[in-house]
Amino acid sequence: MRSTIELVLVVAAALFFALTIQAFAVKPYRIPSESMLPTLKPGQRILVDRFSHHVGGDPKLGDVTVFLPPDGADRGICGHAGEGPFYSGGPETRRSCSAPTRTKSETTFVKRVVGLPGDTIAVVNGHVIRNGKPAKEPFASACYMAACNLHEITVPDGMYFLMGDNRGNSDDSRFWGPVPRDWIIGKAVVSYWPPSAAGTL
C-alpha cells in the first residue's frame, strides 16, 4: 500500500513539474504554414523559451517568436476602426497598418522580429529598411508584389514589427500592424522534428 502511494505521489509530482515547465519555461509548437520558409517548414516542430519573457526579457531583433496576433489578423483587419489590411487605396498605396486591433487573437503565429519599439520600418521588394538602412536578412526571400513595398512607419512604444521570412507568402505586421509586447509568448530556440531539421534557431 505504501509503495502504491509513493508511486502516485511521484507520478503526480512529475506531472506537476512537466506542466509547470510547459506553462512557464519551454513549450512545443508546430509550424502551420509556409510563411517562415526557408527557415521553418510546414509541420516542423520547435521548442519556445517562454521563461525569459516571464521574467522581463524583451524580444530581440532577429528573434523567431511565437505570439498572438491582433484579433482579425486572419481576416486582414487593421486598426481599431476596422480598416482593411491597408489604409485607403489598397496595397498600391504602399501604406502599412500602424496600429493593431485592440484585442488579440487566440491563434498563435510564428514570425521574426524585424522592428523594435521606436524603429522606423519600410519594406522594399520584401526587404526591410530599418531606420533608413537595409537590414541584413540572408534568411528573407525577395518579392515584387504590391504588398512587398511599404512606406515607412514608426513602431510605437511597447510594440514590435514582425514578418515572415517568406516575404511573398506571409500574413504579418505589414497587414495588421505591430504587436504589443504582452502578446509575444516567447522565442523559438530549437527545432526538434523532423530529425533532419533538428538544431538551434
What is the identity of the amino acid at 104?
A: K
d(CA 24, CA 34): 28
d(CA 8, CA 2): 10
Q: Is 35 a catalytic residue?
A: yes
Active-site annotation holder among 35, 96, 105, 173 = 35
d(CA 90, CA 137): 27
Give CA separation, 144 vs 92, 169, 171, in Å: 12, 11, 15
Active-site annotation holder among 96, 98, 105, 111 = 111
Contact 110, 69 (CB under 8 A): no
Structure-block grid coordinates of residue 89? 487605396
Cα angle value 190/196/201 (rounded, 5°):
25
| Residues carrying an active site annotation | 35, 111
